[in-house]
Structure 1
Amino acid sequence: MIDLLLALWPLFALIVAGFYLRRWDFPSEAFWPGAERLNYFILFPALLFSSLATAPLDNPALPRLALAVMLGLGSAWLALLLLRRLRGWPAGRFGAFSQGALRFNTYLGLAAVGSLFGQAGLTLAALMLALMVPTVNVLSVWSLTAERGVSARSLLLPILKNPLILACLGGALINLSGLGLPGGSDRLLGLLAAASLPLGLLCVGAALKPEQLGGEIPALAWNSGLRLLAMPVLAWAVAFGLRLPPMESSVLVLFFALPTAPTAYVLTRQLGGDSHLMAGIITLQTLLAAVSLPLALQLLVP
């Protein structure tokens, strides 16, 4: 447990640092939106591209890992649909709850995987993201627009334009082509990737909105419990049932134990969902994850 805490506390320290830096207006309010865009469109895609370009795609455990990801997300989605039917949530509220349960903080996830499992873990995580990011994006858009209908174009266009998806596809194509990363391009991508995770964690902290926690405590509490406790248990059960190797099981549980993504707030606001509820979910889950993530990994990781 001590080794786990030693690996994870610097990640949450960066999140706290980002929160206070923005509150202290340092370096300036205009810095943070630009930093988020730089990371989202350049630095983070460089990390995913380089990881997949050199990944061992012939790993025999990969088909089972892909099946585990889809079984976990599919089971959670069916449970959410049942809850919506029982509770009668409107789309704006259902969309916030769905994103709170299904989406995950990619920056924190990759930083944690890198700290705990090194490059081998990052490679597995990149492969998982290639499956999880498009699936979760489709479900998120559908949940926010279910009442007014949604076209195939409006579902697929955000995925086709997503820089993370494009980076995963590009890295996989380079890998399959056998071209590799010649001429020092691997070092260039490595430098960009090294800047991505610390900047991303600072931006996660800067986006926290504690003032949004009031008024929805029961809803925030059960949704956080679903994401931070039930989802990692579900991932462990799926991994156990499919007999995944220890490394694959660990990365799967870790990603299902992460708090939801800060970008869920932007999507919720753009599509007319309950952005106040979404901001509260993001903030509470990120704060609670400092305790729940080490606990889930200690209890559920092989």
Structure 2
Amino acid sequence: MSPLLTALWPLFALIVGGYALRRLDFPGEAFWPAAERLNYFILFPALLFSSLASAPLANPALPRLALAVLLGLGLAWLALLLCRRLRGWPAGRFGAFTQGVLRFNTYLGLAAIGSLFGSAGLSLAALMLALLVPAVNLLSVWALSADQGVSARALFLPVLKNPLILACLAGLLVNLAGLGPAGGVDRLLGLLAAASLPLGLLCVGAALRPQELAGEWPALLGNCAVRLLGMPLLAWGVARLLQLPAMESGLLVLFFALPTAPTAYVLTRQLGGDSHLMAALITLQTLLAAVSLPLLLALRG
């Protein structure tokens, strides 16, 4: 078995395991929402904080990597706005398509990066998340609210209260201040971080909704093609244009090749979007990524 498949198949096995456990009603329906909240508010922020607190901020490629992230995201957003103008999508549908193209499964991404690139890759990935998470959340809220307008408070408050963003900011501040977790705090954060990704992947599997895949196949397949093939191709082009080093280029392509985030379903329901379409996109993209992600990474290598 190739090193790439050796690194990736356990991640998808955990996703399948999460889906199977929920179907078997083990350990119970109440477990999964509680597990998601525990991971979202405590375990995953601990991973981001500890990664950013020790991230190599002196890396000379960081400005180019930040530019690549924002350039790729900006080009995709402009293309989505053009498609909406041409197709006349209402906000509920436009918001689902936007999240299907721009959002990404952070748990799967960091688990893959940890397997493929180790701690150095995780530190750079955490820096990318410090840019991507707030930007993608802002664009998602705006897209879902485009028809009725959205106030600055409604747009920025969810971003400012996001525990992942707060953990990124705290980790950066500690890093810039030259401080470091000491007295066993680093060990505590490491234990919390180690629990985050396996639990997150199980929750991803538990959130899959194959029953939502009925109908709208052209729209579903088109969105999946853009997210799983078009976006990594865009990232590859941007990385070549900006002459990113090998690791940074690989991280950019990987993040842009990830399936959309399961949390997109919650946001879509909260803001009155097309939750049926969003659930179908999350499920189909996650299933197809089991094939597209190893293939893209193998071709790139």
Normalised by the shorter chain, which TM-score bucket? over 0.9
Alignment of 1:77-96 (within 5 A): 77-96=77-96
Q: CA deviation at 1:178?
A: 1.1
Match of 2:40 in 1: 40
The CA deviation string for residues 194-220 of structure 1, in whole angstroms up to 9 with x for no partner, is 000000000000000000000111110
Q: CA deviation at 1:190?
A: 0.1
Match of 1:105 in 2: 105
Secondary structure (helix, strand or coil) at the match of 1:272 reads coil
Following the alignment from structure 1 to structure 2, what is the Cα–Cα distance between the partners of residues 296 and 274? 30
The CA deviation string for residues 96-142 of structure 1, in whole angstroms up to 9 with x for no partner, is 00000000000000000000000000001000000000000000000
Following the alignment from structure 1 to structure 2, what is the Cα–Cα distance between the partners of residues 263 and 289? 17
Q: CA deviation at 1:87?
A: 0.4
Q: CA deviation at 1:246?
A: 0.2
Q: CA deviation at 1:300?
A: 2.7
The CA deviation string for residues 5-46 of structure 1, in whole angstroms up to 9 with x for no partner, is 111000000000000000000001000000000000000000
Following the alignment from structure 1 to structure 2, what is the Cα–Cα distance between the partners of residues 38 and 282? 21
Following the alignment from structure 1 to structure 2, what is the Cα–Cα distance between the partners of residues 46 and 68? 26
Alignment of 1:1-302 (within 5 A): 2-301=2-301
Q: CA deviation at 1:282?
A: 0.1
Following the alignment from structure 2 to structure 1, what is the Cα–Cα distance between the partners of residues 89 and 291? 30
The amino acid across from 2:202 in the alignment is L
Secondary structure (helix, strand or coil) at the match of 1:96 reads helix
Gaps of 5+ in 2: none
Secondary structure (helix, strand or coil) at the match of 1:241 reads helix
Following the alignment from structure 1 to structure 2, what is the Cα–Cα distance between the partners of residues 283 and 217? 13
The amino acid across from 2:65 in the alignment is L
The amino acid across from 1:117 in the alignment is F
CA RMSD of aligned residues (A): 0.7
TM-score normalized by the length of structure 2: 0.99
Q: CA deviation at 1:192?
A: 0.1
Secondary structure (helix, strand or coil) at the match of 2:94 reads helix
Gaps of 5+ in 1: none
Following the alignment from structure 1 to structure 2, what is the Cα–Cα distance between the partners of residues 166 and 19? 30
Which stretch has the larger CA shift, 103-112 or 290-299?
A: 290-299
Contact 1:52–1:175 under 8 Å retained in 2? yes
TM-score normalized by the length of structure 1: 0.99
Following the alignment from structure 1 to structure 2, what is the Cα–Cα distance between the partners of residues 179 and 145? 41
Following the alignment from structure 1 to structure 2, what is the Cα–Cα distance between the partners of residues 295 and 68? 23
Q: CA deviation at 1:179?
A: 1.4
Following the alignment from structure 1 to structure 2, what is the Cα–Cα distance between the partners of residues 122 and 148? 39
Contact 1:48–1:167 under 8 Å retained in 2? yes
The amino acid across from 1:242 in the alignment is L
The amino acid across from 1:218 in the alignment is P
Following the alignment from structure 1 to structure 2, what is the Cα–Cα distance between the partners of residues 136 and 8? 25
The amino acid across from 1:106 in the alignment is T
The CA deviation string for residues 239-290 of structure 1, in whole angstroms up to 9 with x for no partner, is 0000000000000000000000000000000000000000000000000000
Following the alignment from structure 1 to structure 2, what is the Cα–Cα distance between the partners of residues 41 and 236? 33
